[in-house]
Amino acid sequence: MKKVIWLVGLLFIYVSSSFAQVESTSAPLVELPVGKDKLIFSDYRGKVILLDFWASWCGPCRQSFPWMNDVQARYADQGLVVIAVNLDQDKQGADEFLRDIPATFKIVYDPEGTSAEQMDVMGMPMSYLIDRDGILRHRLIGFNSRKKIQHEDHIRALLDETVRK
Amino acid sequence: MQLINRKKSGVRKIKKIAPALAAASCSLLSVASSDVLARGEAGTWDFEVASLFYSEADDRVMAAEPVFSASKTFEDGEVLNLKAVFDTLTGASPNGATPSAAPQTFTKPSGNGTYAIAAGDAPIDDTFQDTRVALSASWLAPINRDWEYNAAFYGSKEYDYLSIGTSGGLKRYLNSKNTALNFGLSFSFDNIEPEGDIAKPLVEMAHLGTSDSFDSTRDGSSDSKTIIDALFGVTQVINRNTIMQFNYSLSLSDGYLTDPFKILSVIDETAGANFGGNLLDGNGNNIYLHEARPDSRMKHSLYWQTKYALSNGDVIDGSYRFMLDDWGINSHTFDFRYRWQLGSSYLEPHLRYYMQSEADFYKRYITETEYLAGNLQEATADYRLGDLDGMTVGLKYGHKLDNDTEFNMRVEYYLQTSAGDEGFGLLKDQDLYPDTRALIFQIGYSF
Amino acid sequence: MRFLRLAFVIVLGSIVLSACSELGVKPWERDVLARPEMQLIHDPVEAGLDDHIYFSKEASSGGRGFGGGGCGCN
């Protein structure tokens, strides 16, 4: 009987931990080192940023790029800025990917992955939604047709908010 | 080894015998899981067609085996795979009897005729043809970020043999997907209905054209077995260039596990001119007994594989498998591949070394004493359950035409050597353990 | 009862494994592992054909099974 309880308990821990959600932090983001440059979030105050981390070897990125092109186009005038950070260790991979799937949004390169480390990227691809006040509001891991809809709902919600300060 | 000769009548009146290159009941676990790999862009189909040609020396088995595999990856990462395998076999395989200084005549397992083996020749079941078709469908889908499941169905049919099966599995990711725990279960049901019916265990082979009654050696027209396999595995990313897998599998077979087409020779122990020769019955014919195996088998396997990528893009792949079963067999399998990248082509040498120990009930022949005592429960002279070593040396060449298209071919040489009881008297003059030598050729195209 | 013990061992083993989170790479460092030739069973059709040959000529079979590894995406 004791073993059954242990077993059930352990299984529960596993199952429940897989559904854990992590949401917003309260302080505005300041800056993010990306390769040799820096991304200064205050430059984008008043805009909603979709910060996406991708790589050429990541299969679902082939689906997320056309969608990001689409949302960038549709919501640009409402203040959406898409910034995609490439994490390929070899830029050639990224160039080949962009030849196949061109991007209309801003691409920055971070082959060392320091920005991913700082943002605590947990899977590939991963996007972060930062509101008009520079606060990180959503972490979105992975990409598929279901997540696409959720991501877009979050974007619209953030675009609807007005700047607080 | 639960594999069984199959038979088919090509022309209705002529009963032919099939040899044992018939893996009708392949472990479903490897079929289900491995075939759902797809080059997988969502919404696209990936295809692979290949054909294997297998040919043994000394007029033994020859097989051609084309395969068609299609995979589709769906929007949310689900993968469907459909596969069809065709298998045509010809040639002969050892029937288990020992060679003799005198010519031998054997009754075909169908009971419709005999075949003769010259003095000193290896007793092999002669020409036959058989065709088998196997179809499988498998499905793999994520449940959420941490869990994935898979399911598969399988069926194969030839004239006298049917195999159907199903499998399911779960995968649990841990440590940011650096670790994956795998669990799989498969169930298979096989039914054999040979022409000439099933032989009674350890009954004397009836000689045609004598007072022997073929029908009295028969024990029902068909029989079956069920196989349950379970697999527990861990896949672990070691570092950016290295990945390992450790699996434990358990296999339980139950039912008719005997090969209905294999026999054993009974050897004369009486001092004199025929010491070590075949024991004769009242009619002056050699005595042979149909083999018999236990009706259950439990196998345990431990498997370890490592893949390592070198900085120049070459890949080393090594694996080791240990198998232990309750038939007294244990085996070691070492497999090593080196992929040498050459731009958009590659060359991949391959080396495999296999060693197994003999089954408890393996006997190259039965002695007169054992035969007269009559208390043998199980016995087999099937060399595939004996003490053997197998070495494979091969080379594969592949060329990528583009990201989704590859052409490849491989050539391999397989040499199997057996060892065991060398016999006594006249039997010592015979080659009881001839080598098995096979050439394997495969071409493939994926697109 | 035996099954329960086995299940317990497996779950316990899993916890031990997850303690080994020293091993592994960051999610964005899986470029090499994502390559097709680094998959544990790179060519399933060939693996199936080989399994068939060795299953027919030897007393052992199987052992291999599932994937894992790869790009770890989604």
Question: A87: which chain C residues are within 8 Å (Cβ-Cβ)?
Answer: 28
Does B12 have pLDDT greater than 90? no
pLDDT, residue B130, reads: 82
Nearest to C74 by CA among A85, B36, A140: A140
Question: B238: which chain C residues are within 8 Å (Cβ-Cβ)?
Answer: 23-24
Question: A141: which chain B residues are within 8 Å (Cβ-Cβ)?
Answer: 145
B27/C40 CB distance under 8 A: no
What's the mean pLDDT when you consider all of chain B?
89
CB A72 within 8 A of CB A105: yes
In this structure, of A93-102, B37-46, B49-58, B332-341, the range with the lowest mean pLDDT score is B37-46
- Winning range, highest mean pLDDT, from B34-43, B190-199, B383-392: B383-392
Q: Is residue C54 part of a domain?
A: yes
User: Cα–Cα distance between B152 and B156 in angstroms, integer?
Assistant: 14
Question: B314: which chain C residues are within 8 Å (Cβ-Cβ)?
Answer: none
Please tell me which residue, B18 or B403, carries the higher pLDDT value: B403
Summarize pLDDT for C41-64 with one digit per residue, the tens.
999 999 999 999 999 999 998 888
Q: Is residue C42 part of a domain?
A: yes
**A80-86 and A106-109 as β-strands: parallel, antiparallel, unpaired?**
parallel
Q: Is B41 an 8 Å CB contact of chain A?
A: yes
Q: Is B402 an 8 Å CB contact of chain A?
A: no
pLDDT, residue B14, reads: 30
Q: Is residue C9 part of a domain?
A: no
Q: Is C1 an 8 Å CB contact of chain A?
A: no
Nearest to B93 by CA among B350, B445, B310, B383: B383
Does B29 have pLDDT greater than 60? no
Structural domains of chain C, count = 1
Question: C32: which chain B residues are within 8 Å (Cβ-Cβ)?
Answer: 240-241, 309
Question: B307: which chain C residues are within 8 Å (Cβ-Cβ)?
Answer: 38, 40, 69
Q: Which of B42, B145, B176 sits opposite A63 (nearest CB)?
A: B42
In this structure, of B70-79, B228-237, B279-288, B344-353, the range with the lowest mean pLDDT score is B70-79
Does B365 have pLDDT greater than 90? yes
Domain B14-446, second-level architecture = Beta Barrel (2.40)
Q: Is residue C49 part of a domain?
A: yes
Token readout for A128 is: 């972060």
How far away is chain C from the Cα of B51, in angstroms, using its nearest Cα? 9
Nearest to B123 by CA among B104, B101, B109, B102: B104
Q: What is the DSSP code string of A121-160?
A: --SSSEEEEE-TTSBEEEEEES--HHHHHHHHHHHHHHHH
Residue B4 pLDDT grade (very low, low, confident, very high; cuts 50, 70, 90): very low
Please tell me which residue, B26 or B171, carries the higher pLDDT value: B171
Q: Which of A7, A57, A116 sits opposite C71 (nearest CB)?
A: A57
**Residue C51, domain extent:** 26-60
B144/A146 CB distance under 8 A: no
Token readout for B445 is: 């195209």
B76/A144 CB distance under 8 A: yes
Q: Is C31 an 8 Å CB contact of chain A?
A: yes
Please tell me which residue, C34 or C2, carries the higher pLDDT value: C34
Q: Is C54 an 8 Å CB contact of chain A?
A: no
Region at B94 (left for phi over 0; alpha for psi -120 to 50; beta for the rest): beta
pLDDT, residue B189, reads: 96
CA distance to B345, B400, C36, per residue, from B403 (Å): 12, 7, 10
Nearest to B211 by CA among B115, B264, B135, B282: B282
B237/C57 CB distance under 8 A: no
Q: Is A88 an 8 Å CB contact of chain C?
A: yes
User: Cα–Cα distance between B392 and B335 in angstroms, integer?
Assistant: 9
CB B307 within 8 A of CB B330: no
CB B192 within 8 A of CB B4: yes
Q: Domain map of chain B by residue range?
A: 14-446
pLDDT in single tens digits along all 165 residues of chain A? 777 667 666 766 665 554 444 455 577 888 888 888 888 988 898 999 999 999 999 989 988 999 999 999 999 999 999 999 999 999 999 999 999 999 999 999 999 999 999 999 999 999 999 999 999 999 999 998 888 999 999 999 999 887 765
Token readout for A24 is: 């917003």
Provide the angle, in degrees to the nearest 10, between the axes of the packed helices A61-75 and A91-100: 60
pLDDT, residue B355, reads: 98
Mutate to test the interface with A, among B37, B71, B74, B75 (most CBs of A within 10 A): B75
What's the mean pLDDT when you consider all of chain C?
81
pLDDT, residue A121, reads: 95
Question: C39: which chain A residues are within 8 Å (Cβ-Cβ)?
Answer: none
Token readout for B28 is: 């479903």
Mutate to test the interface with B, among A13, A57, A144, A150 (most CBs of B within 10 A): A144
A59/C31 CB distance under 8 A: no
Nearest to C29 by CA among A98, A84, A65, A58: A58
Q: Which of B40, B144, B146 sits opposite A59 (nearest CB)?
A: B40
Summarize pLDDT for B316-340 with one digit per residue, the tens.
999 999 999 999 999 999 999 999 9
Question: C20: which chain B residues are within 8 Å (Cβ-Cβ)?
Answer: 175, 179, 236
Q: What is the pTM (predicted TM-score) of this model? A: 0.86
pLDDT, residue A13, reads: 63
Strands (E), C1-74: none
Q: Which of B41, B145, B147 sits opposite A123 (nearest CB)?
A: B145
A62/B147 CB distance under 8 A: no
- What single-letter amino acid sits at B429? D
Question: A123: which chain B residues are within 8 Å (Cβ-Cβ)?
Answer: 145, 176-177
pLDDT, residue C9, reads: 67
Token readout for B50 is: 């290949």
Average pLDDT over residues B148-173: 94
User: Longest Cα pair distance anywhere in chain C, in angstroms?
Assistant: 44
Q: Is residue C39 part of a domain?
A: yes
ipTM (interface pTM):
0.88
Which phi and psi (to 5°) does residue C54 adopt? -75, -30
A59/B75 CB distance under 8 A: no
- What single-letter amino acid sits at B345? S
Q: Is residue C70 part of a domain?
A: no
Contacts of A21 (CB under 8 A, 6+ apart): none
Q: Is residue C41 part of a domain?
A: yes
pLDDT, residue A146, reads: 85
Angle at the Cα of B30 (from B24 to B35), degrees rounded to 5?
100
A142/B145 CB distance under 8 A: yes
Does C16 have pLDDT greater than 60? no
Residue B36 pLDDT grade (very low, low, confident, very high; cuts 50, 70, 90): very low
Does B416 have pLDDT greater than 60? yes
Q: Is residue C17 part of a domain?
A: no
**B263-267 and B366-367 as β-strands: parallel, antiparallel, unpaired?**
parallel
pLDDT, residue B128, reads: 63
Question: B42: which chain A residues are within 8 Å (Cβ-Cβ)?
Answer: 59-60, 62-63, 144
Does B27 have pLDDT greater than 70? no
Question: What's the CA dihedral at B68, B69, B72, B73 to 10 degrees?
Answer: -160
Closest residue on chain A to B41 (Cα): A59
A63/B144 CB distance under 8 A: no
* DSSP state for residue B425 in the 8-state scheme: G
Q: Is B172 an 8 Å CB contact of chain A?
A: yes
pLDDT, residue B7, reads: 38
